[in-house]
Amino acid sequence: MVKALILAGGFGKRLRPLTIDKPKPLVEVAGRPIIEWQILWLRSHGIREFVVAAGYKWEKLVEHLGSGKRLGVNIAYVVEDEPLGTGGAIKNAEHLLRNEDFFLVLNGDIITDLNVENLLEKLRGDESAVAAIALVPLRSPYGVVEVDESDHIVKFIEKPMLEYWINAGVYAMRPTIFDYLPEKGDIERKGFPELAEERKLLGVRFRDVYWRSIDTVKDLEEASRQIEELGLAKKFGA
């Protein structure tokens, strides 16, 4: 059974004052903490074993999630005494994941409904690859104006998807990833660049999926509305 590691150690400074007394993954979106949406999403894909990499206000996460029984999953915790960065946080959980064939890793501030099995299948299909990154289209933060050859405005497009792909913060990994990780630092700076240079890092494109990073109060408001509109609670079996 595949395990999932949730990176939940950040300070969430841009969401203050909501994160003064709680870690960012416990901030509520559409009536549930971000991390609950993540667990429900992955549970709907058959994931039942979780590791939460906690740091800031870690005791609040343990208090809220406990063993995971309430959500129908099992949860173990690793706690960092100081901020380790994304690479260091994964490395800190090595003792719980080193013996797995594959495992999932996700940032603790995203909400999505992408199919993680596609990510795992891609990694399983390439024995030389160490990790696979979920990629989603970049949505423009602004509306776009379309102009014809005579400078007449012909169309307004509200925040369209652009022809660029961004890191969705969801990964499938083999345990050999630990050989590339720093004790402290971000995997985006130490780990992924080396794997990319060695052609051991895969990208899996996901079109027509819901994906949202929760970074600001505006993100909270918009994501809450979108979750309701898309019926994600029902889709995830909540």
pLDDT, residue 152, reads 78
pLDDT, residue 203, reads 96
Q: Is residue 160 part of a domain?
A: no
Tokens of 164: 């660029």
**Active site members:** 159
Q: What is the DSSP string of 84-125?
A: -HHHHHHHHTHHHHTT-S-EEEEETTEEE---HHHHHHHHHT
Which one, of 88, 1, 97, lies nearest residue 43 by Cα? 1
* SS percent in the chain: helix, strand, coil, step 5: 30, 30, 40
Residue type, position 234, single letter:
K
Q: Is residue 120 part of a domain?
A: yes
Instruction: Classify strands 49-54 and 74-79 as parallel, antiparallel or unpaired.
Output: parallel
| 160 and 101 Cβ atoms separated by less than 8 Å | no
Which one, of 53, 8, 45, lies nearest residue 27 by Cα? 8
Rounded CA gap, 54 and 45, in Å?
23
Q: What is the DSSP string of 1-18?
A: --EEEEEE----GGGTTT
Query: How many residues are recorded in the chain?
Result: 238
pLDDT, residue 46, reads 95
Q: Is residue 126 part of a domain?
A: yes
pLDDT, residue 61, reads 94
Q: Is residue 155 part of a domain?
A: no
Judging by beta carbons within 10 Å of its beta carbon (0-12, 13-18, 19+), is residue 233 exposed, middle or buried? middle
Neighbours of 199 (CB within 10 A): 10
Rounded CA gap, 186 and 107, in Å?
12
Domain containing residue 13: CATH number: 3.90.550.10
- State the pTM of this model: 0.91
pLDDT, residue 38, reads 97
| 38 and 107 Cβ atoms separated by less than 8 Å | no
Q: Is residue 125 part of a domain?
A: yes
Q: Is residue 17 part of a domain?
A: yes
pLDDT, residue 1, reads 85
Which residue range is the domain that position 118 belongs to? 3-136+165-235
pLDDT, residue 237, reads 82
Q: Is residue 14 part of a domain?
A: yes
The residue with tokens 């602004």 is 142
pLDDT, residue 41, reads 97
Which one, of 87, 31, 88, 33, lies nearest residue 57 by Cα? 33
pLDDT, residue 143, reads 87
Q: Is residue 147 part of a domain?
A: no
Q: What is the pLDDT along the chain (238 residues), one digit of tens a residue?
A: 899 999 998 877 788 887 888 899 999 999 999 999 999 999 999 999 999 999 888 999 999 999 999 999 999 999 998 889 999 999 999 999 999 999 999 999 999 999 999 999 999 999 999 999 999 998 887 888 889 888 878 888 888 877 889 999 999 999 999 999 999 999 999 999 999 999 999 999 999 899 999 988 888 999 999 999 999 989 998 7
- C-alpha radius of gyration, the chain, whole number: 18
For the chain, what is the domain count? 1
Widest distance between CA atoms in the chain: 64
pLDDT, residue 59, reads 93
